[in-house]
Amino acid sequence: MDKARVQRTDRPVLAEEIGPDPEPFERPLICPICSSVVEPVRGYKSVPSLFRLAKGISHESGCLLNPTEVIESIAHGSHGLAHVTDEGLLRLELPADISALPPWPTVPIDATDTGVVRTRDTTTVRPYLPPAITSAAKIARFLQLHGMDPKVVERFRVKPHGQSPIAWGRFCYSPRTYADLYRRCARHEAIGYPIAVQGTVHSIAEDTNGQLYARLALNVPAGDARFHVLLRSAHDSLIKPLISGTHVLAVGDWNVFDTPHIPQLRLFADEHWQIAYWETDTNNGLPTEPTCPAPVTARQLADAQARSRARRPRPASHVTPPPSAPATPPPQAPRPAETVRSEPKRADKPAVTQPQPEPAVPAAPTEPPPAPPRPPHPPPPAVPPAGPSPRRQGWRRWFGSRQ
């Protein structure tokens, strides 16, 4: 447990107070919920400081920290997905479709409470969380109350669909094991089942596109590197219910996104059931029932797809380059001008040449137009510009030259 109470004064004591000598609290200490005596345990290695029941003591009946009762309650409300073994362990089976909802009838408890429904073996609230997610959230909430005590964590197992059972810590990662999941994702390990991440929202931020996202942890060390843990979505409605201090269980395909600054261990949630969250009641300090955001509507889905298309860059092959000046042909020059342009090439021929027929211009003269006065000696042939291109330029490119 991460909390306790002083028996005489009922003063709350946090696990962070364990360690100084002399102790800053008065013994005996009791459970934060019931009156069972607990003892402080100083942290070592990967085990944090916490409170455990005194030797030979059990939690009172009805206490939310009673492992036996909580395990039986979770198994009873799991719609057949959680089973208690002979050793007193709880094994949660993940179905092929983790988002599947059972065909329960929506029968309200009374006329004033239409948000809670009850069936033969399940009680849940709207919007509905799938039984597998509900059971996982209840387990995560229970372990959070126990301060992730390794001895309590060992009492839970998960069986992915079609696979052998695994330890709870290989399915659900808490702040102390974020680095383990980061390393698994960074080396692109094949994980054949959804991964759950449990944490508390550090802050809510907005990216450059105006999309909200939740920060679960910042600058988490992983060897020589550091990374952030982010919960993102294309739908703001899945992030808006979360505030700083909200406890979250996010389930899905987690991955590492490399950035120029700090890598991100992140999940992009597409469905409401991927985010289960609960608060801490300010009156009694106990966690509320897990719930989830409202389902994504068809309109929201269409809007998100439109925004994605607008932000997606067009392929280079589809981009039409701006037209250059040579690409647009100039207006067709009149035929007489063509005769004048070609005259220097025939300077070595007799002064009087046989005119060629020009059917395209009916009014063309039978004789070439009179030439301007010439010098006594014929002009030298025109010198073409340096480095002419073998390809015809200007209007000759489009119409050719007359011969």
Q: Residue 131 corresponds to which tokens in the numbers above?
A: 């039984």
Q: What average pLDDT does the structure give for the chain?
A: 80
pLDDT tens digits, residue range 185-222? 999 999 999 999 999 999 999 998 889 999 999 999 99
Name which of 138-142, 200-204, 343-347, 375-379 the model is least confident about: 343-347
Q: Which helix (H) or strand (E) holds 293?
A: none
Name which of 87-96, 113-122, 323-332, 372-381 the model is least confident about: 113-122
pLDDT value of position 121: 47
- Angle CA(78)–CA(82)–CA(86) in degrees, nearest 5? 140
Q: Is 21 in contact with 37 (CB distance < 8 Å)? A: no
Residue whose tokens read 């021929």 = 349
User: pLDDT class for 109, splitting at 50, 70, 90?
Assistant: very low
pLDDT value of position 315: 63
pLDDT tens digits, residue range 45-70? 767 889 999 999 999 998 989 999 99
Q: Is 200 in contact with 207 (CB distance < 8 Å)? A: no
pLDDT value of position 375: 54
Between 357 and 268, the higher pLDDT residue: 268
Torsional class of 171: left (φ above 0), alpha (ψ -120 to 50), beta (otherwise): alpha
pLDDT value of position 91: 96
Secondary structure (DSSP) of 67-131: HHHHHHHHHHTTTTSEEE-TTS-EEEEPPSSTT--------EEETTEEEEEE-SS-EEESSPPPH
Query: Which strands make up the sheet holding 108-110, listed edge to edge?
Result: 108-110, 113-118, 123-125
Q: Is the dihedral of CA 141, 145, 149, 153 positive or negative?
A: negative
Name which of 7-16, 265-274, 311-320 the model is least confident about: 311-320
pLDDT at 401 over 50: no
Task: Report how far residue 246's alpha carbon sits from residue 204's, in angstroms, rounded to the nearest whole number.
Answer: 11
Beta pairing partners, 40: 51
| Average pLDDT for 11-27 | 89
pLDDT tens digits, residue range 277-317? 999 988 877 889 999 999 988 888 888 778 777 766 666 55
